[in-house]
Amino acid sequence: MKAVLAPGATIGILGGGQLGRMLSLAASRLGLDCHIYCPDAGSPAARVSRYETLGAYDDLDAIKRFAGACDVVTYEFENIPAGTAAQASKYAELAPGARALEVAQDRLTEKTFLRDKAGVKVVEFSDVATVFDAKRAARRVGYPVILKTRRFGYDGKGQAKVDSEAEMDAAFASMNGAPVIMEAFAPFKREVSIVAARNHSGEFAAYPLIENEHRNHILHKSIAPASGDDGAAAQMAKRIMDGLDYVGVMATEFFQMDDGALVVNEIAPRVHNSGHWTQDGGCTDQFEQHIRAIAGWPLGNAMPKRNVVMTNLIGRDAANWEKLATFPNSRLHMYGKSEMRDGRKMGHVNTIGDAL
């Protein structure tokens, strides 16, 4: 049985971005302090937290000092080096654990785990070491296919859609020699996700299914709850989380096909942009839920009371903050980033709809 962290305990967060910031704000409501570890001074998370350590993610001495000063350590992005996760685990509990990171960091490990261990449906995929392998695998599943780097891909980066064999050489070369996997193209009707939490006792709570719209490969809008939630996504999330002995909040992203079938695209072992609507849904928000889970608290209520549409403010969208702040049914969440760069997530707006 895991000890429950009382108010006054310190939660360590690897990463200083907006997810860390919103985790820290939620923790502070519960009387817990946060300690942010991040290479950059003045990060969105550190600006609202009690403690900060500045250091590189591969500085194992700094990680030791940081973890030694925390009661539990979590992370707000999944590309934490394995050695850093191992080092942090020596001096504090790491939640979610190193296995979740290992699975989520590598698309081949992830898809293999999802298909063979969690028993959920994924697109057909192959490990392709050479362009010859890629052509052979693509002939088997049929074009179009997608090439993706196994590691460090996000928001559509490190991937290429290939419509015919004639395009394969150039597409494969565009991966710059990084290890890649090839996926069959899923002709989906829509993209949906589910955010769920699990704690040390195996208690599980899922928010309703969410429908997601992307623009330029970046999440634009999440509609919560999505129509047609039949509980299948939550069941799959539970199988995945039980299989990883997961502690914390995790998001599972799906392609939904014309017949309603759900195919898992990927998991994110952390709070997720498609769960930001929970802050204004009248339920325990995903940030508090994550803190509750890793602090050994009982999970909060994940049943929202109203419809919410979350819209991201990307780059210059955030320049409209003054106008957005006047909409009576909208709540503005800004991340405290000084520079409005193209493609940068600056904040989001939750527009509150009808009661459920």
Q: In terms of CB distance, is 186 or 340 closer to ligand AMP?
A: 186
Measured from the CB atom, the residue of 83 and 156 that comes closer to ligand AMP is: 156
Give the nearest distance from C-beta 239 to ligand AMP in angstroms. Answer: 20
Of the ranges 135-143, 180-188, 284-292, 309-317, which one interacts with ligand AMP (CB under 6 A)? Answer: 180-188
For tokens 């709809």, the residue is 353
Binding span for ligand AMP by CB under 6 A among 16-24, 29-37, 75-83, 183-191:
183-191
CA distance 138 to 271: 34
Query: How far, in whole angstroms, is CA 95 from its chain's centroid?
Result: 14
Q: Is 77 in the site for ligand AMP (CB under 6 A)?
A: no
Size of the site for ligand AMP (CB under 6 A): 12
Pick between residue 33 and residue 266 the one whose CB is nearest to ligand AMP. 266
Least Å from the CB of residue 197 to ligand AMP? 21
- Name residue, tokens 């979350």: 310
Range in contact with ligand AMP (rule: CB under 6 A) among 51-59, 179-187, 271-279, 322-330: 179-187
CB atoms within 10 A of CB 130: 9
Minimum CB separation from ligand AMP for residue 187, in Å? Answer: 7
Identity of the residue, 135 or 272, whose beta carbon is nearer to ligand AMP in the bound complex = 272
Residues 33-52 that bind ligand AMP (CB under 6 A): none
Task: CB nearer to ligand AMP: give 26 or 182.
Answer: 182
Q: x/- contact string, 116-145, with ligand AMP (CB under 6 A)? A: -------x----------------------
Structure tokens at 312: 């991201």
DSSP state of 122: B
**Which among 144, 143, 10 has a CA at the least distance from the CA of 67?**
10
Tokens of 98: 């190193």
- Within 10 angstroms of residue 329's Cβ, the number of other Cβ atoms is 12
| Residue written as token pair 């904040």 | 347
Told to check if 91 binds ligand AMP by CB under 6 A, we report no
| In the complex, residue closest to ligand AMP by CB | 186
Does 211 contact ligand AMP by CB under 6 A? no
Which range, of 1-9, 38-46, 184-192, 274-282, touches ligand AMP by CB under 6 A?
184-192
- Within the chain, strands assigned E span 10-14, 33-38, 51-54, 72-75, 93-94, 125-128, 145-149, 159-162, 180-184, 190-198, 204-206, 210-215, 218-224, 248-256, 262-268, 306-314, 330-334, 345-355
Nearer to ligand AMP, 149 or 284 (CB): 149
Cα distances (angstroms) measured from residue 283 to each of 122, 178, 206, 305, 314: 30, 42, 11, 7, 26
| Member of 51, 143, 185, 321 binding ligand AMP (CB under 6 A) | 185
78, 191, 280, 317: which one contacts ligand AMP (CB under 6 A)?
Answer: 191
Q: How far is residue 167 from each of residues 11, 145, 148, 334, measured CA to CA in Å?
A: 49, 11, 15, 42
Degrees to nearest 5, angle at CA 314 with 214 and 338: 155
Structure tokens at 251: 């998001």
Name the residue nearer to ligand AMP (CB basis): 66 or 125.
125
In the set 38, 146, 293, 295, which binds ligand AMP (CB under 6 A)? 146
What is the dihedral angle through the alpha carbons of 316, 318, 322, 324, rounded to the nearest 10 degrees?
110
What values do phi and psi take at 145, rounded to 5?
-135, 170
Quote the tokens at residue 300. 């909060």
Nearer to ligand AMP, 90 or 214 (CB): 214
Dihedral sign for Cα atoms in the order 275, 276, 280, 285: positive
Binding mask 254-283 for ligand AMP (x = CB under 6 A): -----------xx-----------------
Contact residues for ligand AMP (CB under 6 A)?
A: 123, 146, 153, 156, 183, 185-186, 191, 214, 217, 265-266
